[in-house]
Amino acid sequence: MPREFRLRHDEADWAPLLDAIHELHLHPEDVYEVTALLESLGWTDARARQRYGAEDVFDLARRLYELERPAIDVRSGDYVVPASAWRRFAEATRQFLRGIVFALPMVLSIVSMLTLHFSLWSYQFLPVNLATAIAIGTILSFLTVGGFMQAIARRAFFYIFQQYYKMAQRVTFHHIAAGIVTSLGVSGLLVGVNALFPVLPPGMLWVTLAFYVVLNAIWLSVTVMYVLKSELMFTGLLVAGIMVVWVAFVRLHLNIIVAQLAAMTCISVVGLLVVAYLFRRSPNRLEHGIQPHLPRVGISVYSTLPYFVYGCLYFLLLFVDRVIAWSTNAPGVAYFIWFRGDYEVGLDFALVTLVLPLGLSEVLVSRWMNDALEAERHYASQQSEVMNRRFLRAYQRGIRWMAVVATGSALLVYFGVKWLLDHYLMRLPQSVSLTPNSNYVFAVGLAAYSILSLGLLNAVTMFSLSRPELVVRPLAIAVAANMGVGFLLSRWFGYADAVWGVFVGSVLFAILTSRNIRRVMRRFDYHLYLLS
């Protein structure tokens, strides 16, 4: 038998631990389940000895289980009082804003381009060679740090959920440093390859590298702001950056490239300083007196690798068709890749379709997971099939809502863009117009991104259940289809037909992830158990 031990504190000190266990499950069946619950809360043998004088976590669990307290006993009538309608609305609004945070830079960029003819990293009247250089740098930045963005979100959320803010800060800055080092390494590789095989002239290459490195720092900082629930702060920084470009370019008459690089450098530096400040002000309630160590590098890499791969593949799915279209041979093309503004404009407008579905996805998944955690506390083990059917029906309702919202969003964007072109933009001295190719790409892109939103809802749901492998494989298939279909059609017919690659890839991603998530939902209780 484990030795008896005397708790070092009175009931007022250790009662919160019982409450924390009760919040996870109302009906712990035995000592082993209490032990598992303690470990899920971050308790280790060393921490149990230091805090309560227990021999180990199992010893602490045995003592807690033996306590004659209502918090551990079965209390079938103890249900959480539902929140008020106003509180539920406020929470849904907050989750919606968190969902669209990564779409806000794109929306602000489009609005800025339509009104000012420039944004933080683009300009309507740039020569095609410079537009090509900036486009290459922008796409490379997403492909390089997309994996680090997902890894930061995964690991930082993991530690913040346990209120280990110092560990979250350490792992976050480790990933930021790795992302920056990777960016510099890729930059050096590009310089070396271009020296051996001159593809881009020096002027274009250095513009590409400058935008690439600075944008990497910006994307990394916005990810951390999202993790720390300060996502709107980045929107403010982006607006401030556009104002800096306006002052430097319009008032001070600096070169537009110089003005944009100066503004982006300021934003990247300020963004990283804001991240450090946000971590410094974060609470550290559960870290007093202990300094837990981060897992070994190999363990961390193994646990975050699927999310890293997902981040890279996701941005590859979004951008590979553009690269294929721009690399299609045509008269007047000076380099192997040449920016095609009509293709870019059509897809940029279509991409706005994702804004509303991304927000809805965050709301739906947050509600499902909150309901699941509450249901797990109240459903007995023999009622698992009832709970599984309940959440399968909830998912089916959610996917129908997503289909409706995505379709409505596409129609809203379509008619909104048409109205802007007919009633506002055409009246400007230097207006933006859609060519036949732009209209073609715009229409197909609307359908593609509407369908993609269904797959993204599935992806976020499975990430919440820690099943990334069920997302990565379908996404890899979707990227391969995007490349194959886009390449063949663009070479057989015309560069605008590369857009069918992202359409086919989105359809495959939605179908394959829907098939996987239905399998998960049929064993929802098992996956919740693994998650806990």
302-336 pLDDT per residue, tens: 778 888 999 899 999 999 999 998 888 766 666 67
Whether 62 and 108 share a structural domain: no
- Tens digits of per-residue pLDDT, 264-274? 888 888 888 88
Is 1 among the domain residues?
Answer: no
Nearest to 245 by CA among 235, 233, 232, 257: 257
Whether 158 and 50 share a structural domain: no
Is 412 among the domain residues?
Answer: yes
pLDDT at 76 over 50: no
Whether 343 and 414 share a structural domain: yes
DSSP 250: I
Residue where one domain finishes, among candidates 66, 84, 110: 66
Is 400 among the domain residues?
Answer: yes
DSSP 102: T
Whether 53 and 146 share a structural domain: no
pLDDT at 183 over 60: yes
pLDDT at residue number 384:
65
How many Cα neighbours within 13 Å face the side chain of 262? 14
**Residue 458, burial from CB neighbour count under 10 angstroms (0-12, 13-18, 19+):** buried
Is 265 among the domain residues?
Answer: yes
Whether 234 and 278 share a structural domain: yes
Residues 399 and 454: beta-carbon distance below 8 Å: yes
pLDDT at residue number 268:
84
Is 340 among the domain residues?
Answer: yes
Domain that holds residue 399: 334-532
CA distances to 45, 50, 163, 164, 422 from 167, in Å: 19, 19, 9, 5, 54
The b-or-e profile of 96-116 (16+ CB within 10 A means b, else e) is bbbbbbbbbbeebbbebbbee
Whether 368 and 492 share a structural domain: yes
- Counting the structural domains of the chain, the total is 3
Mean pLDDT of 124-132: 83
Is 440 among the domain residues?
Answer: yes
Whether 194 and 130 share a structural domain: yes
* Higher pLDDT, residue 262 or 336: 262
DSSP H stretches of helix in 228-296? 231-246, 256-281
Is 290 among the domain residues?
Answer: no
- Tens digits of per-residue pLDDT, 444-466? 999 999 999 999 999 988 888 88
- Tens digits of per-residue pLDDT, 367-399? 877 777 666 666 555 566 777 777 788 888 889
d(CA 40, CA 290): 17
Whether 219 and 358 share a structural domain: no
Whether 353 and 500 share a structural domain: yes
Nearest to 264 by CA among 314, 200, 214, 222: 214
Whether 464 and 353 share a structural domain: yes
Give residue 404's pLDDT band: very low, low, confident or very high (50, 70, 90). very high
Is 190 among the domain residues?
Answer: yes
Mean pLDDT of 175-189: 90
Query: Can you name the residues that pair with 270 across neighbouring β-strands?
Result: none
d(CA 238, CA 297): 34
Whether 224 and 129 share a structural domain: yes
Whether 348 and 438 share a structural domain: yes
